[in-house]
């Protein structure tokens, strides 16, 4: 038997992989079905309530407050945007619950450098810094008294 994450041979009786630490036991989460049912019902109720609020608010603004169509359109757009963002995040959460896989980052081992160059591969570190040009020239800036030659 091999680890599904890193493909290392497994020792029988262990519940975690020796190499990557991934859990080897199957997760039977009874809450997953209840959570997905609740999320689906929340998405449905929020969608219907959001559309009802948007249309009912537009009718109330048109008849009761006598607003212009531009303001009613802005109200409908903002309500639709707010409900849409909340619905998006609920659907995203639902897909995570239904998918069952955690978003674990799998770190693959680094492959050796293969180049098709004529010379050897480039080093992975930066070269040593070169000494400054002005290191040995600071003494020339010291004051020296020059007497005129006769």
| pTM exceeds 0.75, yes or no | no
The pLDDT value recorded for residue 79 is: 92
The pLDDT value recorded for residue 84 is: 92
The pLDDT value recorded for residue 120 is: 67
The pLDDT value recorded for residue 8 is: 78
The pLDDT value recorded for residue 106 is: 58
For residue 91, give the nearest of 40, 147, 34, 125 by alpha carbon. Answer: 40
Report the half-sphere exposure of 61 (CA within 13 A, side-chain side).
16
80, with CB counted inside 10 A (0-12, 13-18, 19+), is middle
Pick out the chain residues at pLDDT < 70: 1, 26-32, 100-118, 120-123, 134-144, 150
């Amino acid at each position: 038997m091999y680890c599904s994450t890193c493909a290392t041979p497994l020792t029988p009786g262990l519940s975690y992989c020796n190499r990557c630490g991934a859990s080897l036991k199957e997760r039977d989460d009874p809450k997953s079905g209840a959570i997905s049912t609740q999320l689906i019902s929340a998405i449905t109720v929020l969608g219907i309530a959001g559309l009802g609020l948007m249309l009912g608010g537009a009718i109330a603004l048109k008849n009761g407050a006598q607003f212009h169509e531009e303001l009613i359109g802005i109200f409908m757009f903002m309500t639709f945007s707010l409900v849409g963002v909340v619905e998006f995040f609920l659907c995203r959460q639902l897909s995570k619950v239904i998918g069952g896989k955690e978003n674990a980052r799998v770190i693959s081992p680094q492959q050796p450098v293969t180049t098709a160059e004529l010379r050897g591969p480039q080093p992975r570190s930066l070269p040593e810094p070169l000494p400054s040009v002005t290191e040995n020239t600071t003494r020339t800036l010291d004051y020296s008294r020059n007497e005129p030659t006769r």
